[in-house]
Structure 1
Amino acid sequence: MTSAVAAARPAEFAPWNDPAQTPLIRFENVTKRFGDFTAVDDVDLAIYRKEFFALLGPSGCGKTTLMRMLAGFETATEGRITIGDEDMAGIPPNRREVNMMFQSYALFPHLSVWDNIAFGLKRSDMAKDKIPDRVQEMLRLTRLEKFARRKPHQISGGQRQRVALARALAKAPKLLLLDEPLGALDAKLRQQTQFELMDIQEKTETTFVIVTHDQEEAMTVASRVAVMDNGKVIQVDTPARIYETPNSVYVADFIGDVNLIEGNATLKPDGLVRLAWAEGAPEIIATAGEGLTDGARASFVIRPEKVAISAERPEGRNNVVQGRIHDIAYLGNISTYHVELPGGQIMKAQTVNNRRQSRRGFTWDDEVWLSWTDTAGLVLAG
C-alpha cells in the first residue's frame, strides 16, 4: 500500500463522530436474498452528507447489491433503507434524488458531449432556458469546454469518464452512486482521475458512494471505507484506521500487504500481548487488537514497512528474529525483502529506495536480522 493510505479529507471532516449530525443514508438490518442465496446479510450502515464513501470488497461480497438497493433497482428482503429520513420502500429509481454512474459510462454515441450532458435535463422539469447554463457549468466543472461538440468516440477514455460524471451531476442529485467508475482506465490515468473525482466531489458537496474492489482506489478517494465479505460489513472506518488498526485478520489481509504469524496469545496488564508462535522462537510482544481473549489462538499482523532489516542484531528491542533472504522485489520506490525464518515462515520487510542508485546492502541468501517495536503490529483473534 502506498502513501494513498492518508485520509482523503481534512481531519475536521468527521460527521460520524458528531452525535448532532444526522446521516443522509441509513441501512437498518438490511438483508437481500436471491432464492437460497443471501447476497447482503443484516447490514447496518450510516453515510453522511458530503461524504465520499467507499464499499470495498472482492467479487460477490454484496457491495453492488447494496448499491443497487440504494438506487432502487433491487428491493430489500428484510430491513429498512432511508435517504434523508425518507423510507425508500416502494419508491422507484426515477423518484429518488439519486443518480448512478456505471462502469461502461453508457454514453449515447450519436450525441455530442454537450447533448449527452443535457439529455437528462431535457427530460426533467428544469426550465428549457436554464439548461444551457447548467450544461456549461458542468463542462467547466469537469474541464470539458473544448470538447463540447465532439462525439464520445472522438475523446479519450478519461474524458468519457468525465462526461458521464458531468451528466450524472447535472441534475444536482443528493447522492451519486459510482459503480467501479475507473475500471476501464489504465493505471496512470486511473490514479489521476481519482484526484479529479475527489476535487469535483468537494466542489459540488454531493454525497458520493463508490463501489470498488480496488483497495488503493478506495483508500485514496474515500472519507470512510466499508470493507465487506460474504454479504456482511466487516469494518467501517477512515482509510488510516482501516490500514493501521484493522479489526480482523480478514481486513488486515485484504488491505495492502501484511505479515501474518499464528500463535497462542497471553494478555499482559499493560495492554500488550505475548504471542507464542514457534518452538524455540522468542515470543512476539505486540498490541492487543479487538476481541482478543487470553489464551486464544490468534494472529500477529504487521505491515512490511514497519519491519526493520539489518545485517547486525539490533539492541534494545523485544522483537528480533534472524533469517535468510529468500527473495527480493524491486518496485522502484521501495524494495521488499522476503526473509525465511528458521521454521520456514516467510516474513517481509520493506526499505525505501531514496537514492537514484541504491547501494545494495543485501542480496539473496544473506543472513539478516528483522526487528520491530512493541506497538508496530497487532495481535488479532482468529
Structure 2
Amino acid sequence: MTQTVFAPWDDPNEKPLIRFRGVTKRFGEFTAIDDLTLDIFEREFFALLGPSGCGKTTMMRMLAGFETPTSGTIELSGQDIAAVPPNKRAVNMMFQSYALFPHLSVYENIAFGLRRDKLPKAEIDARVLEMLKLTRLEKFARRKPHQISGGQRQRVALARSLAKAPKLLLLDEPLGALDAKLRQATQFELMDIQEKTGTTFVIVTHDQEEAMTVASRVAVMDEGRVMQVATPEKIYEAPNSVYVADFIGDVNIISGKARPAETGTFQLHWADAHAPFIAASDHAFSDGQACHLAIRPEKVAISSERPAEAENAVQGKVLDIAYLGNLSTYHVELSTGLILKAQTANTRRISRRSFTWEDPVWVSWTATAGVLLGQ
C-alpha cells in the first residue's frame, strides 16, 4: 500500500485553514510584522522559527485575538477574524507557563473550559476521560499540579487546550521549561497527539531542532518578515538565503564571485591565487556576481592526502576539534584565514583520531554538496 505524502501546500485545490494577507502590525514606530502573506493548512503542524523579537509571538497573538493587525487581513476557514473576540474563535492557546489552576485537580483543570460552556456533565466526563487517555494522564486525574512533574504539567495544559476541540491550537514555546531529554520525548508525544486529533498546531519556537523535529513546514522569520517557508528537509538542504542557511544547523559559508562554467555549474572565485571552487546550481548567476556557497560540515570530507577524484579540495591545518560523542567536528584553517568545518562520524567505539591539532589536512567536497546563494 502506498502511503500518500501529506503536502496540501502543493495542491492548488486545497483551501488553507489560515490565511495572512498583507498583514502588518505596528506598535508605535516599531514594525513587528511587515506585510506578511502566508497560508497554513488543516492538520498541519506549522512552526514559526526565529530569534527573539522577530515577530513570531505577535503573529500568534493576532491569531488568538489578543492583537489586531494594523493593516491586512487574517482569515480562519475563509472568514475574516478581525472582529471575532478571542473567546469566540475556534482557536486555543497554550502558554509557555502552562497557566494551570493550582487549587484544581488535573481532572478539574481539563474540565474547566467545558464547564464554562455549560456542557452536560456526562459529556464533560466523557471528553475529559478522552483527553486523559490521549495524554496518558489517567493515573494522575485526582492530583494537583504541584504533585506532578513538569512534563506531566505540560501534558495537562495540552489536554486542557484540546478539550474543546479547537480547529487551531497555538503553542508558545511549549517545551521551554523542560530539560533536554524530556523535551525530546515530549516533541514526539506532541506529534503523536497532533496526528491523533487532526488539530492544526502552530508552534512558536526559537529552538531550530525542535522546529525541524515536529513540523510539517517551518517559517523562518527575521525582523517581522518570513524569510522562507518550506518543509524541514528543504529548509536544511535548500535554504534560499545565507540568513536561513546560517540559522538552521551548522554551516560553512564561502563568499566570492560567480563565473558560469559548464551547464548548471559555476566557478566560485573565492581567493586570489587559489583555484576556484565548482558548484552546481539550478539558479542562474551572472559573470562576476557576488554569491555565497553554503556547505554543511557533514558534506565536507577531511583527509591527509589530496583526494584524487575530488571536485573541490583545499589544504589547511587543524585548528580545533569538537568531540560530540557520535560525531567529531574539525575546524580547519586555510592559508587565507578562512575556517571550514568538516564532520566525521565516530563509528567505532574508541576511534583513534586520525588528525590532531596543527596537523596539515585536506578538506574536500563534491560540486553538488553545497548551495550557491545570491543573498
Relative to the length of structure 1, the TM-score reads 0.96
Task: Report whether the alignment pairs 1:57 with 2:56.
Answer: no
Q: Which moved more, 1:282-291 or 1:123-132?
A: 282-291
**Distance in 1 of aligned mates of 2:145 and 2:155:** 11
Partner of 1:218: 211
Partner of 1:380: 373
What is the letter of the counterpart of residue 265 of structure 1?
A: A
Shift of 1:225: 0.2
Q: Which moved more, 1:68-77 or 1:353-362?
A: 353-362
**Distance in 1 of aligned mates of 2:137 and 2:178:** 18
Shift of 1:293: 4.0
After superposition, what is the alpha-carbon deviation per residue over 1:133-185, rounded to whole angstroms, capped at 9, x for unaligned?
A: 11000000000001111111110000000000000000000000000000000
Shift of 1:377: 0.2
Q: Which moved more, 1:83-92 or 1:123-132?
A: 123-132
Partner of 1:369: 362
What is the letter of the counterpart of residue 67 of structure 1?
A: M
**Distance in 2 of aligned mates of 1:162 and 1:267:** 55
Match of 1:370, SS state, is strand
Partner of 1:319: 312
Q: Contact (CA 8 Å) 2:35, 2:225: kept in 1 or not?
A: yes
Out of 304, 321, 326, the residue aligned to residue 333 of structure 1 is 326
Match of 2:111, SS state, is helix
Partner of 2:6: 13
Task: Report whether the alignment pairs 1:296 with 2:289.
Answer: yes
What is the letter of the counterpart of residue 187 of structure 1?
A: A
Task: Report whether the alignment pairs 1:199 with 2:188.
Answer: no
Out of 219, 224, 229, the residue aligned to residue 222 of structure 2 is 229
Q: Counterparts of 1:1-382 in structure 2 under 5 Å?
A: 12-288=5-281, 292-382=285-375
Shift of 1:31: 0.4
What is the letter of the counterpart of residue 380 of structure 1?
A: L
Q: Contact (CA 8 Å) 1:291, 1:381: kept in 2 or not?
A: no
Gaps of at least 5 residues in structure 1 are 1-9
Q: Contact (CA 8 Å) 1:339, 1:347: kept in 2 or not?
A: yes
Match of 2:355, SS state, is coil
After superposition, what is the alpha-carbon deviation per residue over 1:328-372, rounded to whole angstroms, capped at 9, x for unaligned?
A: 000001000000001111000000011111121111111111110
Match of 1:115, SS state, is helix
Q: Contact (CA 8 Å) 1:289, 1:380: kept in 2 or not?
A: no
RMSD: 1.2
Shift of 1:289: 6.6
Shift of 1:274: 1.1
Q: Contact (CA 8 Å) 2:259, 2:285: kept in 1 or not?
A: no
Shift of 1:127: 2.2
**Distance in 2 of aligned mates of 1:291 and 1:31:** 33
What is the letter of the counterpart of residue 349 of structure 1?
A: A
Q: 1:227 to 1:11 in 2, by over 3 A?
A: farther
Q: Contact (CA 8 Å) 1:289, 1:381: kept in 2 or not?
A: no
Q: Which moved more, 1:166-175 or 1:272-281?
A: 272-281
Match of 2:189, SS state, is helix
Q: 1:43 to 1:293 in 2, by over 3 A?
A: farther
**Distance in 1 of aligned mates of 2:151 and 2:349:** 32
**Distance in 2 of aligned mates of 1:314 and 1:125:** 73
**Distance in 2 of aligned mates of 1:74 and 1:153:** 32
**Distance in 1 of aligned mates of 2:187 and 2:100:** 20
Q: Contact (CA 8 Å) 1:113, 1:150: kept in 2 or not?
A: yes
Q: Contact (CA 8 Å) 1:311, 1:368: kept in 2 or not?
A: yes
After superposition, what is the alpha-carbon deviation per residue over 1:20-71, rounded to whole angstroms, capped at 9, x for unaligned?
A: 1110000000000001100000011000000000000000000000010011
Match of 1:285, SS state, is strand
What is the letter of the counterpart of residue 371 of structure 2?
A: L
After superposition, what is the alpha-carbon deviation per residue over 1:232-284, rounded to whole angstroms, capped at 9, x for unaligned?
A: 00000000000000000000000000001111112335222211001111111
Q: 1:21 to 1:377 in 2, by over 3 A?
A: same
What is the letter of the counterpart of residue 69 of structure 2?
A: A
Q: Contact (CA 8 Å) 1:25, 1:82: kept in 2 or not?
A: yes
Q: Contact (CA 8 Å) 1:249, 1:380: kept in 2 or not?
A: yes
**Distance in 2 of aligned mates of 1:356 and 1:278:** 39
After superposition, what is the alpha-carbon deviation per residue over 1:277-332, rounded to whole angstroms, capped at 9, x for unaligned?
A: 01111111113375744421111110000000111110122200011000000000
Partner of 1:7: none
Q: Contact (CA 8 Å) 1:271, 1:287: kept in 2 or not?
A: yes
What is the letter of the counterpart of residue 130 of structure 1?
A: E
**Distance in 1 of aligned mates of 2:331 and 2:274:** 19
Gaps of at least 5 residues in structure 2 are none
Partner of 1:4: none
